[in-house]
Each structure stands twice: as structure tokens, then as C-alpha cells.
Amino acid sequence: MKKITSLLILILISSMSFAQNEATKKMLAEIEGQWQLDDNGNVIYTRIVEVPEISTEEIYNRALNYFVYNYGSGKSVIQTQDKDLGRIVAKGLYNDVHIGISLITTYVDCWHIVRVDVKDGRARIILTLTEYEKKIVGADTPPSYSTFKVEDSYPINPKGVQKTVMGKAFYKSHIAAIASLDAIEKSIKEGNTSKDIEKDKW
């Protein structure tokens, strides 16, 4: 009886793993071609924002305000702000981009770097996914922590381990990256509060 029960559990786990792998492959297929690799193998996203008739200084200030509001505390910080060069660089963390729950629980965060270059009438945003921080808990043992490059992980590295967990982590990091690009673009085009508030006399 114990052998039959063990066999049924093994079949159930195998079926669940197969279903999860198929779901992960489907998620990754949805975003295929929406990111690039740079010369160093890093995952990058690039967006050009056209803002005709707006000066370099105003575009720079709008971009900087976005980072002041969103990268001014905790682990997300502004690293470079060079007004003369028209460049802002910030490093940030997408917390808990994925939580994989099975016999153990895996928490994955994703570090990223955002660079904005500005000139009259336009801005270029480059967002790079750099590293994952992973915490594994369960099995009555202390949590284990690890940090590793996105490029070394699945699906960028087809041989990467924990394909289901890391595939979903990459998919959700991608979604977070697109949301960041959208938010920065909106800030550059519209400001960071509202047009009415910014034009209000005081």
C-alpha cells in the first residue's frame, strides 16, 4: 500500500511539474523578442521618447523628478545625475518579482539599472536587468540566500536551474521593466504631478 501511495504522489508531482513547465513556456513565448542582449550579455530594454519643443533642461528635470519620487529611499537610489551631460543613472530593486511555492518556497527579487539620456526634444531610456537575489526557505532549515546574474539564469541561459521558478521570475521582471519604461515616459511627457498643479500660480 505504501508503494502504491508513493507512486501516486510521484505521478502527481510529475504531472504538476509538467503543467508548470508548459505554463512557463507559454508565458515566455508571449514576450519573445521584446527584449535584447547587449554586448555583455545583459538583458536590456531601450525606448526613445519624443517630446518636440521641450528643452533639454526641462526634459532632464522631469526625468530627475521621476527618480527623486521613485528611487530616493531604500535599495533604489540615484547613482549619477549629470545635468551638463544630460544623463541620469539609477539602480533599483523589483521586490518579490516571483514567489515559487512547492516543497520549498523561493523568493526572487530583481536588480535593475535605468539610464536616461536627454537632449532637445527627446530622451533615451535604457533599462538593464542585472541580478537576481534569491531566498529559499522550507524543510526545517535556515533560509539560504544567493545572488546571480540574469544572463546566467533561465531562460537567457537555457541550462539554468529551476526553470519554472526562474522562467516566471524573468517574465515578471519583464513586466516590471515595461511598467518602469511607461512610467518614465509618462513623467517625461507630462511631468510628475499633473499639468494643472504644475501650472498653478503660487
Residue 20 is predicted with a pLDDT of 52
Q: Is the pLDDT of residue 199 over 60?
A: no
Instruction: For residue 26, give the 3-state DSSP assignment.
Output: helix
How many other C-beta atoms can be found within 10 angstroms of the C-beta atom of residue 9?
10
Q: Largest alpha-carbon pair distance within the chain?
A: 81
Low-confidence winner among 19-23, 28-32, 66-70, 165-169 (lowest mean pLDDT): 19-23
Q: What is the pTM of this model?
A: 0.83
115-158 pLDDT tens trace: 999 999 999 999 999 999 999 998 778 899 999 999 999 999 99
Give the residue with greater pLDDT, 182 vs 3: 182
| 121 torsion bin: left (phi>0), alpha (psi -120 to 50), beta (else) | left
**CA atoms of 110 and 153, how far apart (whole Å):** 12
Q: Is the pLDDT of residue 197 over 60?
A: no
Residue 17 is predicted with a pLDDT of 42
Cell of 192: 510628475
Q: Is the pLDDT of residue 47 over 50?
A: yes
How many other C-beta atoms can be found within 10 angstroms of the C-beta atom of residue 43?
23
Residue 196 is predicted with a pLDDT of 55
159-181 pLDDT tens trace: 998 899 999 999 999 999 999 99
User: Sorting pLDDT into bands at 50, 70 and 90, what band is 18?
Assistant: very low
Give the amino acid at 148.
F
Residue 103 is predicted with a pLDDT of 81
**CA atoms of 92 and 66, how far apart (whole Å):** 13
The label of the residue with cell 498643479 reads 197
Q: Is the pLDDT of residue 184 over 90?
A: yes
Residue 195 is predicted with a pLDDT of 53
50-98 pLDDT tens trace: 999 899 999 999 999 999 989 877 788 999 999 999 999 999 999 999 9
